[in-house]
Amino acid sequence: MLYSNPRMEAVIPDWPHGSHRTTATFRIEQHPTRGERGTRFTIDPKTGKPSALKTLTYARKARIIDGDNGRTYIAELSPYGDSVSIMRSDMKLQQEVIHERDPNHAAALALFNGEG
């Protein structure tokens, strides 16, 4: 899979929320000593209030990215080397890990250049 559009924040309208649709807000949280991590909250379509914040564990760097399948992911640069973890937007499962020997490794590292 190919990934693009790295960013620190994304607001996605029309996000699935049970049988309803809502808005999801993704952000990369930065801590001076721990690193960066992905966060997400949605707006409850019935009450209009934000849901509880979902967070990932800290990584050296993190970015919100788009997959070539049209889905949103969070890329995390490992604190122990240069492997890149790609987390699904539900923040429950890992989509894939891109290691140093993977042919897509250079493109995955390029996701962290620029912003942040």
Q: Model-level pTM?
A: 0.90
| Digit-coded pLDDT (tens) for 82-101 | 899 999 998 999 999 999 99
- Containing 61, the helix (H) or strand (E) segment is strand 61-67
| Digit-coded pLDDT (tens) for 50-72 | 999 999 999 999 999 999 999 99
At 113 the pLDDT is: 86
Q: How many CB atoms lie within 10 A of CB 36?
A: 20
- Containing 109, the helix (H) or strand (E) segment is helix 105-110
| 18-37: average pLDDT | 95
At 17 the pLDDT is: 85
Rounded Cα distance between 29 and 88, Å, is 17
- Rounded mean pLDDT of the chain? 93
Dihedral (CA of 113, 55, 65, 48) sign: negative
Kindly list the distances between the CA atom of residue 81 and the CA atoms of 76, 98, 103, 112, 115, in Å, as whole numbers in the listed order: 12, 11, 17, 14, 20
At 67 the pLDDT is: 95
At 4 the pLDDT is: 95
